[in-house]
Structure formats: C-alpha cells, structure tokens
Structure 1
Amino acid sequence: MIYTDIDVNYGIVLDDSSETQCGREHAGTLGSEFLILIMRNIAPSSSIFITTENSTTVNISTSENLQSNLKSSIDQETFVNSAANIVLPQEIQCNFFRKEPKGILVRSQEPINVLVSDNNNPLIEFRVDTTTVIPVEKLDTSYIISSFDPSTSHFAVAASEDDTNITISLKISNNVAISIFGSTYRDMDTFVLSLDRLETFQFRAGADFSGTRIDSNKPVAVYSGTVCLTGGDGGCSPALEQMPPISRLDDIFIVPPKFNAKVIRLMSPENATVQISKGNATQSREIYQSVPFDIPIVDDECIVIESESSILVTMVAFELTPGPFIATVPGINQYLTRYKVFVAEGYPISFVAIMIETEAKNCLVLNNQPIMTNAIFHEKQVLVGCISYTLMIVEFKDGELIVESEKTPFGLMVYGQNTFDGHGFAGNVISSLLC
C-alpha cells in the first residue's frame, strides 16, 4: 500500500502497513474519519490540512446544533486531488467551560492524512503550531494530559458518539482553583461530564494541567496545549498537540538534538521506572502516576528514554528561546518506513530529524537521492539496548520532502524556526494497538 503526493504546508503522507492482533488497520495516522476541535487561541482563523495519494471526495461536517451561519461557513464537500487547505473561521474556536456543538468531522472515501494548524497563515502571522490528527478508529477511552505553561494551560475534549460519559480526574498545579458551572474544583478533584456527538468542552487555568486523567465510556478526542507560550520577543505563540490515547503510547524513545527544546516532559499513567541516557551517562529514575517528570536538555544532547511501561514524551521550547512549540516525541514502535512531508515556507531554518538503526542508514533515500554528507547538519550514534541508532539532523529549506528506507522503520520529526516563532511535529505518534 503506497500513499504519495503532497502540495501543502505541513502535509504528511505515510507509507507502511500495520497489522495488529485485532486485524489490519491503516498505517500511522492515515484514516478515513477524523474528529477535530479548535481550542481557543489568539489566531483569527485556523486550518485543516488534508493530504491524499488517491484522489478522493472529502466531507467536512459539523453538528446540526451548531449556529446555522457558522455551520454553513464550514460544512462542505470537496474533491481533493493530492492536498487541500480548509480554512476555519475564528468563531469555531471553543470557549472555556462551555458545552458546545463545535466538533468537526472529516470523512473521506480514500485514506487521508489530516493535520490541524491553529493559524491558517503562518507566512504572515508567524504565530502557529501544528498537530497531526488521530483517526477516529484509533481514538480510545483513556488519556493523560501533558501540557507545560503554568499560567495559560488548557485542554479540550470532543465526543464522537451520543451519550458519552467522561470523568476528568484533575491535576492542577499550585493549588489553583477553577470554577465550572458554579462549583469550585481544585487539584485531585473529579469533574463528570456528559457529551453528545460532536459536542466539545474546553478547560483552562492559570496553572499546569499535566497529569490530568480523562476516562470515558466511549472514544473521545483530546487536545492539549497553551493559549500563549512566550517566545523570544515576549509575544504569544499558541502550543497545540492532540494527545494519543494511553493504549497507543510507547516505552522506548530517542529524543533528537538541535530542535531548540529546553525540556523533555515525561508523563506516565502509572508508577514506572525509566532509564535515561545522555551520552555515556545512564541513570535510573522513578516517575509517578500523573506527576510530570522534566528532563533538561541542551542543544546538542541526544537523550534515550527506556521505560518499564508505556509513557507519554513531549519536547517543549519556551521562554527566551526563539521558536516556542510543544511536540510529541515518537517511540521506536511508532516508526514507519516511509514519510512524505511538505516543509512549511517562511521558516529560514527547518530541520528534519531522522532516527534509524545504524546498519540501515545507507539505505535511506531523501527526495529519491541518497542523503549527501553536506546536507547533514548534525549526526550522532546512540545505543538502545544493544542496537546502534544513527540520528541525522538534515537542514531543509522548505517544500516537498520524501524520506524512505527499504525495510527498516525509522522515526521522523520536523521543526521550523523563525526569529520569534516555530512549529514542531512528528511524522507519527501512534503505536499499533495490542488487544
């Protein structure tokens, strides 16, 4: 099964086949149905980026209960030859602590890849972050939140079915209280919510929500981030990431260097022991259920994380660092053998990180050519168990980028940096579901 062709910023098309004990499913984040919500942010509009190999009809629909003029501005059926950019009005952004019919459903006849940007014009605004959207078939009923900012963190939930009962086990830093429907909630409190199909609910606090647990009786989509992550100019840059379900997390990670990140945040749904390797030094640390564990990182450090159970790993750039963003780090069981991305224009610096077994690195092909030595900005080898992995950081201006290997799966992340803004995302963060 091969998926190719792309012609839009941030579009990713993946090629791989995935077969689980439950049967076959599309590789990575390819799918035919996606549930999207747009969290409240500073941008005047947002975008859905769609890429496909085979020409297909894509239907964008909203709830019948959405305000009619807003619904008519979003609902559409469009023919996508290879890629499309669907611009969403600001009014579809969720409001805080309100049950709203603001979920967006994207359906297609052929497998597609979908990304969401919280700003539809990064070439002008440079206030943008992007996340890969998880297909509905790979959503689940249990999630853990990873955020970062202690002053503007937020997260939101959308239901794919009627009568979805959701239990939110809140983790709120600094003993901050939030008010929901006239009641006060603090750290360790539980909030119960019922949503129907395409209904959404967004939370916000002047605190960090990391460690908040979400459990539901039916699959839901969960998005997290910050309203405003401070950049190098002191201005705001939204951070956006869809949370993968706990059932799709991984246990071994290679965190690439040169991505401008300052902190690697580990979140675990249960107590776990992790091994953290930096260079020749390895230490064992205990991380606790729903308690953030942060690993400081410097620019040229490569970090290997091995956990006894599945965890969520995110990298964060913040404060005086140019290019603030939050991005999920893919585990090695989430690697694929082929990626096709379009590196966004307007970012003077764009890096592509490739993490592959060293013995297979010479089989890598970039845009149908072997990766030339002068194109490699940074290269390092690390050991994961007894297997050597090579990390290549390739500087790539912008435009279409295809990276593939013959047989060996590899990880891929993309990072773009402007003077005061940036975006970062992984090619895939979904593991095959083990039944």
Structure 2
Amino acid sequence: MARDGIWWFLLLFCTLSSASYQGREFLAVFPQNDDESPSASLQLLLTSYGPADAQVSMALCGGSFTQNVTLRPDITTPLLLPAHLELTGSCASHKTLVVQASTDISVVAVSTKHYTVDATALLPVESLGTRYYVVTPVGNYTCGLTEFVVAAGATATAISITTTATFHYAGATYIPGAMLRLFLQPYHSLQLQSSQDFTGTLVVADNPVAVFSGHSCVKVSAAFDFVVDQLFPVAAWGRSYVVPPNPLQTDVDFIYVVTDEENTITYNTGSKHATVAMAAGEVQVFLVDRNSHLYISAVVGVQVVFFFSGSSWQDPFLLVVPPVTAHCTAFRFSSVPSQYNHAILIAPTAATATTTINHQPDNTMAWQAIPGTDFSWASITVSTTMQSTENSLVPFGFLVFGFHTRTGYGFPGLCVATPTPLSCEDLVCAERCEMVDGIPECVQETFSTCWLTGGPHHRSFDGKTFDFMGTCAYTLTTICNTDSTLPAFSVEVKKKEKENSKVSSISSITICVDNITVTAVQSENGMVREAKAIIVSTFQVILWNFTEITYLAMILRVF
C-alpha cells in the first residue's frame, strides 16, 4: 500500500437474466419482407393481462409517428402500422418503434405481403442482452437474402459484429471472419443482408439490444416465404430443450443448436441417441422429419432455433425454441388473424391429464409420448373460443404457428405465469447455483475492483491502469443507467496539486449511496463527514491512521 494514500472501491456484480414475453416497454422493428416493393402490411398484436385497462403508446425516434391505444383486459388487439416502417437493404435507420404500456402486456409483430408473412413475439426491454448469435436459414434456390437486425434502446450503443458471411455496408465489403464496429444512436437499428449464410455471426453490444434474424424470402423445397424471429440473448439460453414432431411436415425440418463456449450436448431424436462435443461458437444442424423429435441436454446453455422448411401449401417459418426452464403454468392464445392457426403443447407425461384449455379439461387432445424422455406432446387446431391453456401443477411448453394459401408463421407461446426453475439443474448460472429456501438462485462469486492511489494512479474495473494528473473534481465510478434493483451510487474525487510538485494528490472523496453521503478529507485524519447515519449492512468505512496521511477503504455491495 502506497504511503501517499489509497482509495478502494469494491463492487460486487450480481445479475440474473431470463427471457419473458411480458413487459411494459418493447422495441419493434420490421426486417425486409421479400422484395422492397410492394409495400408490406405491418401490424402489432397487443395482449393485456388485466385486471385494469392498459394504456399503450407507440412512437418513432424524432416523433414522425406516434399513436396511443387503450387495451381492454385479457383481450388481444390488432393495430395496423405505416408501411414505411419496413427496413430495406443493408443500412442503419431510425425505424425502431418504441412501445410503452402502463401495465404488463405482450406484443407480436406481423409483416405481410401477398404471398409472404411471418410473425415474432417481442421480448420486453428488460429481457434484452448484449451478446447474440445469428441464425439465418438458407434455401436450395437463389431468391431473397439472409438478414438480421440489431436495434438499440434508449442509450447510444457500441456494436461489434463478427460475420460468417460476405456482406456490403456503407461502401465497404466484409468477408467471413471480419468484424464490423459501429455506434447506433438511441432507438436506431441496423439491418444487414447477404446472399450467404449469416448463421454463427456474433453480435456484441455494450448496452442491451434487440436482435432479429431470418431471411427475406427462403425456399427449401415446397414454397417460398419471409421468415423472422427475435433471438434470445446468450444470458437467457437454457440447457434442456424439447422440440416435438411437426405433424404437418411431409419432408424434413431443420433445428439449429448454437453454443457460446466449449460444450457437450447429448441429444435424442427417437431413432438416434448420441453425445457431441461442441467448440465455442459452433453450430450443429439437425434434420428431423414428421415422426422425429429432438431432445437436447447440454452442459452449458445453448440456443435452439426451429426452421419449418415448408410442406405442400404451408410455407416456411422460423421459431426460437424456449428452453424447458421457460415453460410455465399458463399461456395466452395469440395468433395471426386470417390464418389457419395451430399450437403444440409439450408437457411432462405425468401432467397431461391436468392440462386444460379455458380452465376446462379437453378430451380431444391426443397426447403422444416422446420416446426417451419424460415428456409428451399434443397438437391442436386453435379456434376463436380458445383464450388460454393452463396446468396449475406443472410448467409446460407451448408453440404457436399457422398457415394460409402460400403463407406461414410461427412464434413461442405467450406465457401468462412466470416460470419458476425447480432445481439448480434447470438454471443456467454464470458461476454457481445454490438452493435457497427450496428455490435455485445464481450466486456471484467474483467481483471487480477499481482504485485510485497516490493521486494520479488509476486502475479501472476491467484491469487497465493509467495515470492522470488533473486537479479538478472527477467521478471515479457511478451507475450508467437507472435500475430500480440497484442502489443509486457515485464516488466523486477532488484532486489538487501537491505543494512544490507538478503531480496531483487526493484532497477529498465523497461517496453517495441512495440518500447517504460520506465525505473524507485528506487533512482530517481519523474522521469522515456524513450527511446521514450509516447503515452498516449497506457499506462499511475503515480508517487507518498513520503519521502523515489517512488511508480509507470503502466496500460497497450491490445486490
């Protein structure tokens, strides 16, 4: 420890992310559907969950479009939007629609042209993340383009994209392995397109973003269609997935499994059972037919994306599969109007008899066991009288899809009840999981430290060191964005020039946590100035008294 004094600030980071489709703020974007013309019919399906009306506002950055609507409880309301919100080409734009509500709602975005349509359930802002892997199915025909969109929220965001495909942007060409770095202004989006496969492309941001992935018009065998879905961030991936057969498929479908780090997955397709090692960033593609399921169990979290390749008159769609940990005890029926709508339920075999529709038993559901697993599945045709499906005892999965003449769409079901993991085996944690009162919780075991010593010497949270000789008041650390789950805090340092020296020294430090302020001044050995009584469980101040200087260490724990 230097005799000139050292100021310590230790911050414990503890975060747990999950993906949910209920929230009060959403970012809606509409990737290019087929060719740039004709114009697309764009709409949002807004679902409220009561008990009171929900006030919903929608706005584009800059105010070129605003709209307000009142949602009745437990009703899905379609809302048409201007066609110019559709993105075209590889470019950045300000066409990110911000949807805000007074109570929790769910939002489904639908883009329709004459023979192309798809829909995606939107993640609320609090479920977004900073790290994603793109999945873009490719067909057997030269038509359309693979594409993905990155949308920034309320804060200007630095984006880095490591591509697996060749694409052109802003006059430059990027080849596989190249990295594109850029800043997105608040509520702006970036769409990139290619004639090659973007699958495996890594998107990293310094603030949470929304990422949408798909193809403007893809054909594998039977038909063409626009496909898109919003991706889960890496932090929301799971370790166990069940993908049931699709009874409408007469050929094969594709299931993409992506890992962010070295991994081992065990899979079961009914006819095959194997264990496979995967490298960081690797993508495994499984082909399944109408009689095949896929059960995945991984050592660490993976992303699973289902691509229905089309069959007869049913066109392709893309669907991000939620992990078993995202199964829940009740779902709301929400489907695209003017389509023949279907749903698939995935439940523990022992719980099929207690799974209901509109809170009533439904004897028409034909449950089928999934070989090699403890799950069963059932396919139903969705009618206008169906409002919800539920099981009060056990979480289950729910997938929605539909078709019309030469069109198709699909998205995960809208969970009404928040899923609760049952054990540490069901929860993906960055470091360690432990059971607390019968509930699995992630435990953070590491923290980062920043410090300032001797006046000019600094070390940042990411371990970088530098010297700075300024003699003003500076913010050493503070929170970047308001977060109700964290205390508001800041550490302010005042520095002055040393007598008979060209270097600076610390004259005082002020630490604010919520409404508590503590100031320590260099000349006041053994003392601190406090604006309010200190709560010891929040933070602790320790003083060391030496002949010439007081040493202060402060430890802050943020939960």
Same fold? TM cut 0.5: yes
TM-score normalized by the length of structure 1: 0.83
> What pairs up with 1:97-108 in 2 under 5 angstroms?
97-108=90-101
- Per the TM alignment, residue 287 of structure 1 is displaced from its structure 2 partner at its CA by 2.8
> What pairs up with 1:114-125 in 2 under 5 angstroms?
114-119=107-112, 125=114
Larger radius of gyration: 2
- Per the TM alignment, residue 422 of structure 1 is displaced from its structure 2 partner at its CA by 1.6
Partner of 2:382: 396
1:360 paired with 2:348, answer: no
CA–CA distance in structure 2, aligned partners of residues 75 and 109 of structure 1: 16
Conservation of the 8 A alpha-carbon contact between 1:380 and 1:392: no
TM-score normalized by the length of structure 2: 0.66
Partner of 2:209: 220
1:231–1:285 distance in 2 versus 1, CA, 3 Å: closer
Partner of 2:398: 412
Conservation of the 8 A alpha-carbon contact between 2:229 and 2:318: yes
Conservation of the 8 A alpha-carbon contact between 2:266 and 2:296: yes
Q: Secondary structure at the match of 2:282?
A: coil
Q: Which amino acid aligns with 1:426?
A: P
Q: Secondary structure at the match of 1:118?
A: strand
- Per the TM alignment, residue 56 of structure 1 is displaced from its structure 2 partner at its CA by 1.1
State the Cα RMSD in Å: 2.5
1:314 paired with 2:310, answer: no
> What pairs up with 1:247-326 in 2 under 5 angstroms?
247-258=235-246, 260=249, 262-279=253-270, 281-318=272-309, 322-326=314-318
Conservation of the 8 A alpha-carbon contact between 1:231 and 1:323: no
Conservation of the 8 A alpha-carbon contact between 1:365 and 1:404: yes
CA–CA distance in structure 2, aligned partners of residues 330 and 199 of structure 1: 27
1:126–1:367 distance in 2 versus 1, CA, 3 Å: farther
Q: Deviations over 1:108-136 (max 9, x none)?
A: 000000111112x8xxx452111110000
Q: Which amino acid aligns with 1:249?
A: W
Q: Percent identity?
A: 21
* Of 45, 48, 55, the match for 1:52: 48
CA–CA distance in structure 2, aligned partners of residues 405 and 127 of structure 1: 35
- Per the TM alignment, residue 193 of structure 1 is displaced from its structure 2 partner at its CA by 1.1
Q: Deviations over 1:222-270 (max 9, x none)?
A: 1111000227764x41101001110001111111112536111111212
CA–CA distance in structure 2, aligned partners of residues 305 and 83 of structure 1: 33
Q: Deviations over 1:322-366 (max 9, x none)?
A: 321111112100101000113445444x43211111222211111
Conservation of the 8 A alpha-carbon contact between 2:222 and 2:310: no
1:141 paired with 2:130, answer: yes
Partner of 1:17: none
Conservation of the 8 A alpha-carbon contact between 2:238 and 2:428: no
> What pairs up with 1:184-199 in 2 under 5 angstroms?
184-199=173-188
CA–CA distance in structure 1, aligned partners of residues 187 and 398 of structure 2: 32
> What pairs up with 1:171-250 in 2 under 5 angstroms?
171-172=164-165, 177-230=166-219, 234=223, 236-250=224-238
- Per the TM alignment, residue 417 of structure 1 is displaced from its structure 2 partner at its CA by 2.9
CA–CA distance in structure 2, aligned partners of residues 170 and 344 of structure 1: 33
Count, aligned residues: 392
Partner of 1:130: 119
Give runs of ≥4 in structure 1 deviating > 4 Å: 231-234, 428-435
Q: Which amino acid aligns with 1:243?
A: L
Partner of 2:332: 340
CA–CA distance in structure 1, aligned partners of residues 279 and 172 of structure 2: 29
- Per the TM alignment, residue 400 of structure 1 is displaced from its structure 2 partner at its CA by 3.0
Structure 1: segments with no counterpart, 5+ residues: 1-20
Partner of 1:41: 33
Q: Which amino acid aligns with 2:82?
A: P
CA–CA distance in structure 1, aligned partners of residues 98 and 270 of structure 2: 45
- Per the TM alignment, residue 90 of structure 1 is displaced from its structure 2 partner at its CA by 2.1
User: Could you say which structure has the greater relative contact order, defined with CA pairs below 8 angstroms and 6 or more residues apart?
Assistant: 1
CA–CA distance in structure 2, aligned partners of residues 325 and 61 of structure 1: 28
Conservation of the 8 A alpha-carbon contact between 2:148 and 2:212: yes
